[in-house]
């Protein structure tokens, strides 16, 4: 791509037209699962999908597009999506993939940047699931999926417009105290959060997931669970000495109604 789109509508149209890639590991795991399709169960297959936020997006987007007329409830978890679709139809509809490592192989810095965000998303999902389970959330997997997809727009920009992502990263590197949203707005004219909201509407992703991924509603405990998991994964990505972490710890402890020592123990810091 020689020039980035301008404005959220143009970016949304640009990303809508792209084929979403998955990790090579995901494609291989699905091929291995296909070889034992008559023996694999939905939970095992869900674990494969949930390892990869972009594969998770593909499945949820497919489910939203092919939702039955009589289906009243949104499909907001991977396991539910697989139960509705069925194992054999899943293998039929997801028989071939674009591969992330192939797409960005000639741009190693961009590939590294994307893999970094994916790893962060995986950690956020684990945190969110743990905290939601502790809080006796009635559907902890919804919270975990929302955390896994919380930085979806950032992943997509790394994938399809790596030059834009590299410029944002360079701007933040030159101004260490600059907030991510401020860097995004300076270079793109909008934040990834705003782009993500537009993509959720475009792809008709479940309204519940879209709201859980929206930091603007972080006064709600489930949204706060997702946001704090994403924040902790971001701020601890390079180690446990980020100056934002004490605030994260206080907010997480308040959400879980535990003291700081108990939280640090759960995080493996003591």
Query: If you average pLDDT over residues 101-109, what whole number do you get?
Result: 95
Q: Answer whether residue 94 shows pLDDT above 80.
A: yes
So what's the pLDDT on residue 1? Answer: 45
Q: Answer whether residue 135 shows pLDDT above 70.
A: yes
Distance CA 220, CA 76 (A): 18
Q: Give the residue among 98, 101, 70 at the shortest CA–CA distance from 84.
A: 70
* 3-state SS record for 239-266: CCCCCCHHHHHHHHHHHHCCCHHHHHHH
Confidence category of residue 6, pLDDT binned at 50, 70, 90 = confident
Per the prediction, the chain carries an average pLDDT of 92
State pTM to two decimals.
Answer: 0.94
Contact 216, 226 (CB under 8 A): no
Q: Answer whether residue 184 shows pLDDT above 50.
A: yes
Confidence category of residue 3, pLDDT binned at 50, 70, 90 = low
Confidence category of residue 178, pLDDT binned at 50, 70, 90 = confident
pLDDT in tens, 55-72: 999 999 999 887 755 554
pLDDT in tens, 196-224: 999 999 998 988 899 999 988 889 999 99
Q: Answer whether residue 2 shows pLDDT above 70.
A: no
The better pLDDT of the pair 2, 250 is held by 250
Contact 199, 152 (CB under 8 A): yes
Distance CA 1, CA 236 (A): 33
Query: If you average pLDDT over residues 101-111, what whole number do you get?
Result: 95
Least confident of 32-36, 44-48, 175-179, 262-266: 175-179
Distance CA 62, CA 8 (A): 23
- Other C-beta atoms lying within 10 Å of the C-beta of residue 217: 14
So what's the pLDDT on residue 71? Answer: 55
Query: If you average pLDDT over residues 157-186, what whole number do you get?
Result: 92
Q: What are phi and psi of 20, to 5 degrees?
A: -70, 125
3-state secondary structure of 99: strand
From residue 24, give the alpha-carbon distance in Å to each of 17, 161, 261. Answer: 22, 20, 39
pLDDT in tens, 12-56: 999 999 999 999 999 999 999 999 998 999 999 999 999 999 999
Domains defined for the chain, CATH in brackets: 8-100 (1.10.3210.10), 106-266 (1.10.3210.10)
């Amino acid at each position: 791509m020689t020039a980035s789109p301008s404005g959220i509508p143009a970016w949304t149209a640009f990303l809508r037209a792209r084929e979403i890639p998955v990790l090579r590991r995901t494609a291989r795991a699905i091929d291995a699962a296909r070889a034992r399709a008559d023996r694999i169960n939905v939970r095992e297959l869900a674990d494969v999908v949930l390892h990869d936020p972009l594969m998770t997006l593909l499945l949820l987007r497919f489910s939203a597009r092919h939702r039955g007329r009589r289906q009243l409830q949104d499909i907001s978890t991977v396991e539910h999506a697989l139960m509705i679709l069925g194992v054999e139809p899943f293998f039929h509809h997801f028989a071939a993939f674009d591969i992330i490592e192939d797409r960005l192989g000639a741009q190693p810095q961009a590939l590294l940047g994307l893999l970094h965000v994916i790893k962060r998303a995986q950690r956020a999902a684990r945190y969110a699931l743990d905290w939601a389970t502790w809080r006796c959330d009635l559907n902890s997997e919804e919270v975990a999926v929302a955390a896994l997809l919380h930085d979806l727009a950032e992943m997509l920009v790394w994938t399809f417009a790596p030059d834009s992502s590299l410029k944002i990263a360079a701007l933040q590197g030159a101004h260490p105290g600059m907030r991510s949203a401020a860097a995004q707005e300076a270079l793109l004219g909008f934040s990834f959060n705003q782009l993500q909201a537009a993509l959720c509407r475009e792809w008709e992703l479940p309204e519940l997931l879209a709201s859980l991924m929206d930091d603007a509603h972080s006064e709600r405990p489930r949204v706060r669970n997702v946001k704090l998991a994403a924040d902790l994964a971001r701020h601890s990505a390079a180690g446990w000495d980020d100056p934002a972490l004490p605030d994260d710890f206080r907010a997480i402890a308040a959400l879980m109604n535990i003291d700081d020592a108990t939280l640090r123990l759960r995080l493996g810091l003591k």
